[in-house]
Amino acid sequence: MKITFEKALDIFHYPFFKLLRTAHEIHVQNFDEQSVQISDILSVKTGGCSEDCSYCAQSVRNGAKMEKQPMLDLETVLKSARKAKERGVSRFCMSASGRCMSSNAEFEKICEMVKAVKALGLETCVTLGFLTENQATKLKESGLDYYNHNVDTSPEFYHNIASTRTIDDRIRTIEIVQKAGVNVCSGGIVGMGETNEDRIKMLVLLANLKTHPRCVPLNKLVKIPGTRVDDSNPIDDFDFVRMIALARILMPKSYVKIAAGRNTLSESTQALCIFAGANALFSSEKLLTVDNMKDNVDRKLFDRLNINVEQFNG
């Protein structure tokens, strides 16, 4: 059944504790409430991107100071993946800057990375921009478990954050990935100047896809000096918790991930997010080009909340 914006708006504005209770009840019906899934992410190709995404340090059209790093070699990627596995991470994500893969040779290297990381006993995820059907099939054959492709914001606000692509382009790639049988990881960024209504519309869009994304990451904008949104107002913490709760209610069986910007949330706010249904996190100290959480800080928080880290038994 289609979710209407009006219904989602109504849920978002439930009294705070009613919203938390509703989301938590749905969470325990679908997941182990004491368990979170942890991913690590590595930028395998950085900077030099010709797209104009307003938030991104890697766009050449922004004034952010960013060193370009060509595609990493396989051994460097594997070294990082082995370290992630030793830290108890179950999924290893590899991110490449750019609108799409710039050549077939580059794409083949990514397929080799996926095969080799999978062989270490880790779940695999890549984010490479737009994909063709052929590429999606080849990634699936290489052992890819997840493809990240964020819609980033509402259809109405999208033109404020990028002019070199449309949200419909993004949705096309999501459908291509789903058709190839790869799990989709798709969410967005909050705090770029959009309203709560835009944030709700983004979740309604995701909830109305033919198949819900298996994972819905919510990024708090990490302000990069020199980008076009470096002076926008951050989201209020309680509104962020409301977003998590709404995502959990609208997409009961999806993992809801607190992605970038988690290091700006207090431990108590993170605990509220987990109660409201967040059950996936990034644990790497770097998220592509920006700082994230220290592993020992996370482990202490998990211990205090009696949280177990989900293991991958693939």
Q: Which residues bind ligand SAM (CB under 6 A)?
A: 55-56, 58, 95, 97-98, 127, 129, 149-150, 152, 189, 219, 221-222, 224, 260, 288
> Binding pattern to ligand SF4, positions 59-78, x when CB under 6 A?
x-------------------
247 and 30 Cβ atoms separated by less than 8 Å: no
Q: Is 190 in the site for ligand SF4 (CB under 6 A)?
A: no
Smallest gap, in angstroms, from Cβ of residue 148 to ligand SF4? 11
* Closest approach of ligand SAM to the CB of residue 219, in Å: 4
Q: CB 215 → ligand SAM: shortest distance, Å?
A: 13
Q: Is the dihedral of CA 97, 99, 100, 103 positive or negative?
A: negative
The answer to whether 227 contacts ligand SF4 (rule: CB under 6 A) is: no
Label residue 29 exposed, middle or buried (CB < 10 Å: 0-12, 13-18, 19+).
Answer: exposed
Which neighbouring-strand residues pair with 282? 39
Residue 94 interacting with ligand SF4 (CB under 6 A)? no
Nearest distance in Å: CB 170, ligand SAM: 8
Q: Which does 150 bind (CB under 5 to 8 A by kind): ligand SAM, ligand SF4, none?
A: ligand SAM
Rounded to whole angstroms, the Cα distance separating 252 from 270 reads 19
310 binds, among ligand SF4, ligand SAM, none (CB under 5 to 8 A by kind): none
**Distance of closest approach, residue 189 Cβ to ligand SAM, in angstroms:** 5
* Binder of residue 59, out of ligand SF4, ligand SAM, none (CB less than 5 to 8 A by kind): ligand SF4
Of residues 27 and 262, the one with the C-beta less far from ligand SAM: 262
Q: Are 39 and 286 in contact (CB under 8 A)?
A: no
Q: What are the residues whose beta carbons fall under 8 Å from the beta carbon of 108, sequence distance 6 or more? A: none
Distance CA 9, CA 223 (A): 27
Measured between alpha carbons, how far is 102 from 274 in angstroms, rounded to an integer? 38
Nearer to ligand SF4, 58 or 124 (CB): 58
Beta strands in the chain (DSSP E): 35-45, 91-96, 123-127, 146-148, 183-185, 188-190, 215-220, 255-258, 280-282, 286-287, 290-291, 308-309
- Shortest distance, CB of residue 197 to ligand SAM, whole angstroms? 20
Q: At what angle do helices 16-30 and 237-250 cross, to 10 degrees?
A: 40
Which residues contribute to the site for ligand SF4 (CB under 6 A)? 49, 51, 53, 56, 58-59, 97-99, 129
